[in-house]
Structure 1
Amino acid sequence: MKIRLILAHPLQDSLNARLAGHVGARLRAMGHDLAVTDLYAEGFAPALTADERARYYRPPFEDRAGLAGIEGLVLVFPTWWFGLPAILKGWIDRSFLPGVAYDHAPGGGAMVPRLTGLTRVMAITTLGAPWWYDRVIARQPVHKALKWGVIRPVAPRARFAMAAFHRAETATEPRIARFESRLSRRLTLHFS
């Protein structure tokens, strides 16, 4: 399976970078064709330019993110303020473009998906909050936004999964190792 992994954390020694390395090694061991993009290391500019926005209804746009032809997508990022980091939100804004991820429907109707070959998506995030606050109080806003607001409109056949590591600031090595073990099992099930 052709898979793209996106890492969105500014620190090279972060838990997110460690998890991205773990995921990459696991997917490669499973025989997948993996391309990794570290948005911070590449100096990705997240702001949608005025020119890009002005042309939004006059595609085509260049597929700079290499979304066409991928079958799997993995996003590894921290959840900050119960939202995506700005660099990842900007990557979505500048990559999931008309003519690349979707087409505008005639007459302003629903988007017409273009990423029909994308069948597996997994988001892996770290949070400072405990699980109960994310699930019960906040009601998993990042999960909902990614699944229903980003992936479903452009890749309606894609199976979406999310793995969250809560209370990341107080993580211990044994807890991280248990999470990586569970993550390996989930990757095997999701990307088989």
Structure 2
Amino acid sequence: MRILLVLAHPLSDSFAAAVADTAKAALEANGHAVDLLDLYHEDFDPRLSEAERRGYFDTPYDTSAVEDIVARLRAADGLILVFPQWWFNFPAILKGFFDRVFAPGVAFDHDKAGGRIIPRLTNIKLLWALTTTGSPWWIVRLYMGNPVQRLLKRGIAAFCAKDVKFRMLSLHDMDRATPTRRTAHLERVKKAVSRI
């Protein structure tokens, strides 16, 4: 399986980077091909341009500004996202990745009758999120309603890729996580990813 592994963290020595390294090593050990897309390292511009927004309903939609990443997404069988949750949401660079790359003609088509969008990422068979939160689990799940999981599973995965296998692994209360908890989480990631 070919996996597009997307890392969204500005620090190369972050825990998110360690999670991405752990996932990459486990995938490659099982014979999977991994394409690491480090959004910060590759200087991805998350801003949707005026031309991109104005042409949103054009057919075909112009993705030339992100054609390299679109090609990498189309070549993948699976997508694994590694990122911290900031303010119960995606980092801005990851949101921009969705805005610019998960575009019409790539991730979905507009229904000509104005109804539901039509999924196009039929190549993507799994979508995983490996993430951290600064808040305890009960705040994320009970108080906030797990917004990132809902956006990924009910929005992006459901609307862009049919029958995709979705999974999310989170380390909650990251700001107070001890080295032992961090190490245990990396082992959890390794075990989970090794089953792919």
Normalising by structure 2, what TM-score? 0.93
Structure 1 residues without counterparts, runs of 5 or longer: none
Stretch of structure 1 that moved more, 175-184 or 95-104 = 175-184
After superposition, the CA RMSD in angstroms is 1.1
Give the secondary structure class of the aligned counterpart of 1:107: coil
CA contact (8 A) 1:61 1:97 kept: no
Q: 1:20: which partner in 2? A: 20
**Secondary structure of residue in 2 paired with 1:106:** coil
Name the counterpart of 2:152: 146
| Deviates further, 142-151 or 177-186 | 177-186
Q: Does 1:51 align with 2:29?
A: no
**1 CA distance for matches of 2:108 and 2:178?**
42
Look up the match of 1:37.
Answer: 37
Q: Are 1:64 and 1:95, in contact at CA under 8 Å, matched by a contact in 2? A: no
- Percent identical across equivalent pairs? 42
* Cα distance, 1:5 vs structure 2: 0.5
1:75 equivalent to 2:76? Answer: no
TM-score, structure 1 as length reference: 0.95
Report the Cα distance in structure 1 between the residues aligned to 2:29 and 2:152, rounded to whole angstroms: 27
Post-superposition Cα deviations, 1:23-51, rounded to whole Å, max 9, x if no partner, equal 11111111111100111111111010000
Q: Who is 1:168 aligned against? A: 174
Which consecutive residues of structure 2, in runs of 5 or more, have no partner in the other structure?
Answer: none
Displacement of 1:60:
3.5
Q: Which moved more, 1:73-82 or 1:101-110?
A: 101-110
How far apart in 2 are the matches of 1:182 and 1:19?
Answer: 10
Secondary structure of 2:74's counterpart equals: coil
In 2, the alpha carbon distance for the partners of 1:27 and 1:16 equals: 16
Q: Count matched residues.
A: 190
Contact 2:6 2:36 in 1 (8 A): yes
Cα offset, 1:167, TM superposition: 1.3
